[in-house]
Structure 1
């Protein structure tokens, strides 16, 4: 029951509160992996639960006072743990929403006083099915090796800071995290089963080029996964110059802090005009970036509203070479 990219945008845009928008994105965004590659979580057992969840989100958006702790996350520039924020969102839904019932969260497993893992969520559906969910929200850039004839592999998708890779994360989730509730150590904790382990995996994959390469993704990846683009700082400078020469390009470019990587944000007219006025300074800063930076481009529609057109990463000019070396280190 996940939404496609355009449907997801329409669904999320009905909400004003930032945390409600992010929660709706988390619940309705397409999975990064395809069905069958791993057992995938489904937030709703039925169309009725889906409709009830939308009604619940509408009510929460109208009166979001109970989301204070989540709001504090998004407003605190020192809080950058996107995974913890996503866990808080999903935990809130399971504890207060109209679908599955939360039994426990962040359940540690220990062997001889050493922590060997932690179950993200234990829950029970309306049909009395007990589920173990492992949550992952990932953002990877596709690098490849320049050989268009070679099929994409999970190892071609690397984290922007080159400290993570999709094949490594996939193996950890499937072989270790999903197996936690079948271990002897879990059986001693007293959570009556049986438990069905599932992967709740969302995010976005970024492809080279301003419109994103339309390559065939790795076979494990969901066909409807969310896409973005990436360019080197020099490529972005040249693309911006061509766009301005061709059409007097008027876009508002927004640097996305980590906690804004989920749902799109609203951009009002005054914010947009300020960003356009500062566009030269923003462009100069990004052209000399020393670390990958996510940005979003906003365009003004016929009604005068600013809507997100695309999302991508600007990376340093030496990043692709380092990224290919990191991808090539896969077995």
Structure 2
């Protein structure tokens, strides 16, 4: 029996908050294969999150160890924790490369046993952040902070390549060698945010559900001190889930992060916070990417 997912904001431990966010986060694509963990979660699973939040050392190791700055690695480890420790599923394979004639044709992120539906599933996962860039010809593009990444390319890769990997004869052979036989159901998990330009109205792609998480982005030259008063820079892996802290935002930390946008010519993510009188925390209310004035690089633009 499923239960209503609690707000991630009630959790003080960052990794527990990340897990709670992943349980119910809206996805960045429409598809019948999209996986929603909260659909399978019980009241006991959410109670376990509350217990871990009170005593992280009593839970899986990832909850109390120093978080890995590699966002994808941290996300993948949390996903395994979600499947095994919260849902009680069995991971049969993970990060399994599939090769054909001495070259890799793909990788299975997770192959799991879903005891609820009594089936074997192949899960492809990603967490993504895309900034909407208006095009002169009306063909808006959604670029990642690294503009070589694009939402349309990632969506096509997930839906039409990775999701069909289990139908390849090489994959079937690998699964058979591991004792995994019979049909394998593909599921896709891709939560994240779309960031909208602050000065131009653009529409989200038709491939993205209306309930997606939203932020905004602006050029470095558009940032004025009065709007950054309650900002804090977000460092990976704390892009996952909403941010909260006990101390008030520090202006010098924001300025240092803004300086890196100019020096490194790379976007930086910030959270805007609001003070909660009830418990004294500063809680995230919105997210903002600040990008160098040259972003995206001309070579990245696709018309």
TM-score normalised by length of structure 1: 0.79
CA contact (8 A) 1:233 1:286 kept: no
What is the distance in 1 between the residues matched to 2:207 and 2:49? 31
Any idea what SS the aligned residue of 1:139 has?
strand
> What residue in structure 1 maps to residue 271 of structure 2?
296
Task: Measure how far apart 1:71 and its partner are.
Answer: 4.3
Query: Judging changes above 3 Å, is the alpha-carbon distance between structure 1 residues 172 and 283 closer, same or farther for their aligned structure 2 residues?
Result: closer
> What residue in structure 1 maps to residue 121 of structure 2?
131
> What residue in structure 1 maps to residue 74 of structure 2?
85
> What residue in structure 2 maps to residue 319 of structure 1?
295
Any idea what SS the aligned residue of 2:272 has?
strand
What is the distance in 2 between the residues matched to 1:45 and 1:298? 30
> What residue in structure 2 maps to residue 21 of structure 1?
17
* Alignment counterpart, residue 67 of structure 1, candidates 44, 60, 73: 60
Any idea what SS the aligned residue of 1:259 has?
coil
Alignment of 1:154-303 (within 5 A): 156-189=141-174, 190=176, 191-209=180-198, 215-237=202-224, 240-241=225-226, 243=227, 251-268=229-246, 271-272=247-248, 275-276=250-251, 278=252, 281-282=255-256, 285=259, 288=262, 290-303=265-278
Any idea what SS the aligned residue of 1:317 has?
coil
CA contact (8 A) 1:236 1:287 kept: no
* Alignment counterpart, residue 51 of structure 1, candidates 35, 43, 51: 43
> What residue in structure 2 maps to residue 141 of structure 1?
131
What is the distance in 1 between the residues matched to 2:23 and 2:258? 37
How many residue pairs get aligned? The number is 294
What is the distance in 1 between the residues matched to 2:63 and 2:98? 27
Deviates more, 1:134-143 or 1:283-292: 283-292
Q: Structure 1: where are the runs of 5+ without partners?
A: 1-6, 244-248
Any idea what SS the aligned residue of 1:258 has?
coil
CA contact (8 A) 1:52 1:98 kept: no
Deviates more, 1:219-228 or 1:121-130: 121-130
Any idea what SS the aligned residue of 1:181 has?
helix
CA contact (8 A) 1:19 1:67 kept: no
User: What's the CA shift string for 1:104-134, capped at 9, x where partnerless?
Assistant: 2222212234322111111122220221110
Any idea what SS the aligned residue of 2:30 has?
coil
What is the distance in 2 between the residues matched to 1:253 and 1:44? 31
Task: Measure how far apart 1:267 and its partner are.
Answer: 1.2
What is the distance in 2 between the residues matched to 1:261 and 1:26? 12
What is the distance in 2 between the residues matched to 1:184 and 1:280? 52
CA contact (8 A) 1:23 1:89 kept: yes
Q: Structure 2: where are the runs of 5+ without partners?
A: none
Query: Judging changes above 3 Å, is the alpha-carbon distance between structure 1 residues 73 and 117 closer, same or farther for their aligned structure 2 residues?
Result: farther
CA contact (8 A) 2:232 2:254 kept: no
TM-score normalised by length of structure 2: 0.86
CA contact (8 A) 1:231 1:313 kept: yes
